[in-house]
Amino acid sequence: MLSIKDVNKIRHQKNTVIVGVSRSGNKIGNALYTELKKKNFNVFQINPNVDEINGEKCYRDFESLPSEINTAILTVLPTETLNVVKSAAKNGINNIWMQLGSGSKEAENYCKENKITYVYNQCFLMYAEPVEGFHKFHGWVWEMFGKYAK
């Protein structure tokens, strides 16, 4: 069950990496990266295939990140999520946010078994203050249907 305690623990971490930003610059990972920078997060991006996206440094893996990271937000395919979670944990990241559409039951179970704080199947931007525009509306809709964290 989704816990507001876990949501709050993760959303208040300022050293964050987005895993799965796109080379094209037009995917949810890219939007997350841009929005979190605007919200004063110390945010990094990982894509194993490039060194730069939209003029910003991109890292190929967790090992190459330049500073201590508390949180990973995953925007990868569900078939990749478990391996990404394992790699994050191996590198000391114990807060995992599986963005809406990126979660997998195997990754969720791994987090439970290894006492990793995680959020599954939620949009991070519905919780990242200040919540504005579409994401505010999205959160309201999810609240109406009982999907918003309590």
pLDDT (tens digit per residue) in 125-150: 998 888 888 888 788 887 888 888 87
**Strand (E) or helix (H) holding 17:** strand 15-19
pLDDT 10s digits, 2-54? 788 999 999 998 899 999 999 887 788 999 999 999 999 999 999 999 999 98
Q: Give me the amino acid identity at 130.
A: P
Give the count of domains, the chain: 1
pTM more than 0.85? yes
Decide if pLDDT at 1 tops 70. Answer: no
CATH of the domain at 139: 3.40.50.720
> What are residue 16's DSSP bridge partners?
43, 71
Q: pLDDT tens across 59-99, in order?
A: 999 999 987 898 999 999 999 999 999 999 999 999 999 99
Q: Are 96 and 86 in contact (CB under 8 A)?
A: no
Q: Which domain holds residue 62?
A: 4-144
149, part of any domain: no
- Identify whether 150 is part of a domain: no
Task: Please provide the average confidence, as pLDDT, over all residues in the chain.
Answer: 91
